[in-house]
């Protein structure tokens, strides 16, 4: 999806975070783990890249010589690209860890609706350094606070 398609679907007045939330809730994206995007689905960060209108042929998103569709979140290069994009879009990159770990949890991951609800609840804070370390609790099926320093 490119920027024009994103604007046609959601309108130009929405911020990237608004689009990201809407895309996560839309049901159009199958959820996957450990990669931004594969033929079988997307990580929540891959949905963010879609919401921003980036094309997957962008070689900056490719990881470790894989095709861009297999851009790994665990590679330093890909993490740096996503951190830079988050900063450009007004989202403090320290939020990335909680979201990726929630998306990729092997026991009971957060689904896109749960991630979207978390983003909506904390939308006003996303541009700031988190005061609390958030983590996904599979046993509670919820994001839980862990004060920084604990």
Domain ranges of the chain: 3-147
Collapse the DSSP code of 127 into the 3-class scheme (helix H, G, I; strand E, B; otherwise coil) and give the result.
Answer: coil
Q: Which two structure tokens, joined as six digits, stand for 11?
A: 């309108």
Q: What's the confidence (pLDDT) of residue 107?
A: 83
pLDDT in tens, 85-115: 888 888 888 888 889 889 988 888 899 999 9
The span from the CA of 38 to the CA of 57, in Å, is: 13
Collapse the DSSP code of 96 into the 3-class scheme (helix H, G, I; strand E, B; otherwise coil) and give the result.
Answer: helix
Determine how β-strand 132-137 pairs with β-strand 142-147: antiparallel
For the chain, list residues with pLDDT below 50: 1-3, 5-7, 9-12, 58-66, 69-70
Q: What's the confidence (pLDDT) of residue 52?
A: 83
Rounded to the nearest angstrom, the gap between the alpha carbon of residue 138 and the centroid of all alpha carbons in its chain is 18
**HSE of 139, CA atoms in CB hemisphere, 13 A:** 0
- Contact assessment for residue 45 and residue 73, using Cβ atoms and an 8 Å cutoff: yes
Q: What's the confidence (pLDDT) of residue 59?
A: 44
Pick from 47, 41, 59, 56: nearest CA to 10? 47
Q: What's the confidence (pLDDT) of residue 81?
A: 73
Task: Please tell me the pTM assigned to this model.
Answer: 0.75
């Amino acid at each position: 999806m490119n920027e024009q398609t994103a604007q046609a679907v959601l309108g130009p007045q929405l911020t990237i975070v608004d689009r990201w939330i809407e895309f996560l809730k839309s049901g159009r994206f199958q959820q996957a783990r450990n990669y931004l995007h594969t033929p079988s689905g997307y990580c929540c960060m891959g949905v963010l890249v879609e919401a921003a209108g980036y094309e997957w042929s962008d070689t900056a998103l490719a990881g470790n010589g894989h095709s861009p569709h297999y851009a790994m979140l665990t590679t330093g290069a890909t993490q740096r690209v996503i951190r830079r994009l988050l900063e450009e879009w007004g989202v403090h990159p320290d939020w990335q860890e909680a979201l990726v770990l929630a998306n990729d949890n092997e026991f009971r991951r957060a689904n896109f609706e749960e991630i979207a609800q978390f983003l909506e609840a904390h939308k006003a804070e996303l541009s700031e350094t988190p005061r609390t370390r958030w983590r996904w609790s599979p046993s509670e099926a919820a994001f839980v606070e862990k004060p920084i320093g604990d």
